[in-house]
Amino acid sequence: MFLLTRNALNRFKIRSIQQIRSRQSHENHSEDFHDKYGNTVLASGTAFCVFAWVFIATHIGIEWNLSPVGRVTPKEWNDE
């Protein structure tokens, strides 16, 4: 009884998957928002983030990787 039920369910699942695939292949695919504008939105968001980081990094006054060698001098020793 169990084998008969399992075989019937497997056949039903296979048929339903085949029917879904055949229906999807015959449908005309209409473009949605992501198909039309997805890459544009992604590129503009990336460009905005890069521009913002570059602007902030160059305008907040951080001195990048400057070596103190030759510019730092020790203070004089006080013996008092």
The CATH number linked to 17 is 4.10.51.10
In a domain, 22, yes or no: yes
Query: Domain containing 37: what range?
Result: 1-60
Please state the pTM of the whole predicted model. Answer: 0.42
Q: Is 27 helix (H, G, I), strand (E, B) or coil?
A: coil
Domain-located, residue 30: yes
Q: How many other C-beta atoms lie within 10 A of the C-beta of residue 67?
A: 7
71 within domain boundaries: no
Residue 67 lies in a domain: no
Give the number of C-alpha atoms closer than 13 A to the C-alpha of residue 53, restricted to the C-beta side: 5
Residue 34 within a domain: yes
Walk along the chain (80 residues) and give the pLDDT tens digit of each residue.
Answer: 566 666 666 665 666 666 666 665 555 667 888 888 999 999 999 999 999 999 988 888 776 666 767 667 777 887 76
